[in-house]
A and B are shown apart, each in its own frame.
Chain A
């Protein structure tokens, strides 16, 4: 009882702070909770670039704070509570595993706005969710990979077998197989978002098994380094441009660009126009960027890839367009039909042609 009273009074103090804020007396405080180190060169690095963009945009009117390497679970709940107590007006929680903690803390601080990346639970009016349609970028990667592989074996480093990752595998496979029907995917699950040693091992195993293209859904540059060492293996930057490995082995990349979203949401809090919503933006809205396609890619392939990017961006083409079957041969999408967001959000099956099983 006492605790909730105390929290409520703390929240009230914050509420008063919020009132002062509307008068322009106080800085808007924005907190960021990161799952990895800001120097991971991938996922967390890009979120932190978004944070810096918020600082650059609003200057003195905003104060940002962050905690990196926060374990998913009770630790993240404590860090979020701490930020709220310290007067944060808006908190971005940037990993799927922060979903329940975010909603728990949001219940205790109704005046603080919470933004949870890649989740689906919005149990309270002060919780929004946001994610990017990374699978659109995967379609372009798949196209280039299918064209460039000579061994017809494409390696894929999977992090966790969750819908977001499976969606990426399917999208890459569909577009690789479209331009190269002989292509085969070898998938290794490493059960981590960031572990350079494990990622490097996985890349080496895939290369030994004959893969001459390695795609990754993990955040470090270790697979790029492994490919460079092996020579003749194509890679793509993941989450961040990883441009230090261009022009080869890294021939392109998927870049998460959170800055516009973070700036827009911070502005909404300042204006008092913030509302709960679920955002899922792709190439068109600029949340997913495609890093420069280097000259290691033949000019005609590059042109096709850019055309695909343009079609995905203006909505004239959907990355999941029928006819498509599921792995077991049952129909998934009819001719010309496109997948709806609900199916994509919960995707837990491979499309026809991918070997192996999703770990259970």
Chain B
């Protein structure tokens, strides 16, 4: 009954006709808005725009939910409040870490490259290969138990991701290929490799012919279990925190970090300054591949448990959003990763509790990136109202 009531109210609230009447006036107003380039990118705006983007996403997302006949306030609070402070927060808070850790781990690596203008779009593939190598290293010893197995898996996962990223790296350095295309295409190769592994080499021999590896959660030596039960804190979370500190120190205290920043901001100046672009490409792709591989390895040995055809769920692509949402800044990425995790978890809660369609949640997440990128203009430009001088 109450749900029907909301339908009517919100239907009246979001009158599409009213919007249509407004829009000519809006267009007229836009004519008088001038963008003026700032002499220096605004620091204040760089920090303010992510917050502004979140606020705008909430407003326009609320309108979207209202049009769908749901109470917008209830929907927004379900997504953002319920997982952190709701009745079952004790369950959702650890889930934030589980969902956020791979995003942060991958995004940190990507951000280093993005800062230097090196575009690794294929983290998803490196994530898959890292998981395959990590799980493979562990399963090779099944059912032997040893404390050495897990560290070995970590090493194998990191190496696997690194090696997969070296392919676009070496091709770029040696033959000048475009790393965006090569790394992206290798995602699809990795997906085929994953399918092949689930159906062949790593298939569970006791799985009645069904695809998928043994479950590493049931193999104590290889299980990336929670370090403290009930906190969601597994080794992947620890690795993500270490990576954040490492990236922060690298960017602020180390000459390599300086080289990365200069290359991104002024490539010619960097060349004159003695930066070897080839080595920088290999370093940035290598480190992002390594971290993506680690993320895959921690996921397969922990929360996911097994190599299966559908093992990858898009962390490698979502991490690109996280990297930009976090302003390519290590601390910003932590916040952005947790925020993305929150929208996923809250989004699923909103689906089941309020009956919101999954597509609406996806649009909502898309809005976040859209507003962030759109508002970026405020960092570099100043908005002026009124008719300015014609340039």
Contact = CB atoms under 8 A, between A and B. Distances in A.
A and B physically associate = yes
Nearest to A347: B209
B34 interface: no
Nearest to A101: B305
A185 B92 CA distance: 49
Contacts of B200: 360
Contacts of B217: 100, 104
Contacts of B292: none
Contacts of A10: 88
A39 to B, nearest CB: 9
Given A73-B304, A85-B91, A360 B199 contact: yes
Interface residues of A, number: 45
B81 to A, nearest CB: 15
B235 interface: no
Nearest to A33: B352
Contacts of B304: 73-74
B44 interface: no
Contacts of A348: 209
Interface in B341-355: 344-345, 348-349, 351-353, 355
B208 to A, nearest CB: 4
Contact of B229 (A4, A68, A120): A4
A67 B358 contact: yes
B316 to A, nearest CB: 14
B267 interface: no
A71 B199 contact: no
A73 B313 contact: yes
Nearest to B344: A75
Contact of B349 (A72, A74, A82): A82
Contacts of A38: 357
A191 B192 CA distance: 9
A191 B352 contact: no
- Of the candidates A2, A3, A38, A161, the one having the most CB atoms from chain B within 10 angstroms of its own CB is A3
Contacts of A160: 195, 211, 309
A38 B16 CA distance: 27
B79 to A, nearest CB: 13
A355 interface: no
B352 A1 contact: no
A68 B358 contact: yes
A79 B352 contact: yes
A78 B230 contact: no
B90 A6 contact: yes
A96 interface: yes
Given A69-B358, A73-B311, A160-B309, A4 B230 contact: yes
A78 B229 contact: no
B244 to A, nearest CB: 22
Contact of B348 (A2, A3, A75, A347): A75
Nearest to A345: B208
B140 interface: no
Contacts of B11: none
A72 B230 CA distance: 22
Interface size grouping (class) on chain B: 35 or more
Nearest to A70: B348
B191 interface: yes
Interface string B206-248: 0011110001010000000000011100000000000000000
Contacts of B107: none
Nearest to B361: A69
B348 A120 contact: no
Interface string B293-329: 0000001000111101111011000000000000000
Contact of A2 (B92, B196, B215, B229): B229
Nearest to A78: B95
Given A1-B229, A83-B352, A71 B209 contact: no
A359 interface: yes
B257 interface: no
A66 B310 contact: no
Contacts of A97: 308-310
B98 interface: yes
Interface string A133-147: 000000000000000
Given A75-B313, A82-B352, A346 B229 contact: no
A85 B348 CA distance: 13
21 contacts: A2-B230, A3-B90, A31-B352, A66-B351, A67-B348, A67-B352, A68-B351, A72-B308, A79-B352, A81-B91, A82-B91, A86-B353, A96-B210, A100-B305, A160-B211, A160-B309, A162-B210, A191-B195, A347-B209, A359-B196, A359-B199
Closest 8 CB pairs of A and B: A3-B230, A360-B200, A74-B303, A69-B358, A348-B209, A346-B209, A71-B313, A346-B208
Given A67-B358, A78-B348, 20 more contacts: A3-B90, A3-B230, A10-B88, A65-B353, A67-B348, A69-B358, A73-B313, A74-B303, A75-B344, A75-B348, A82-B91, A82-B348, A97-B308, A100-B306, A120-B208, A162-B211, A163-B210, A191-B195, A346-B210, A360-B196
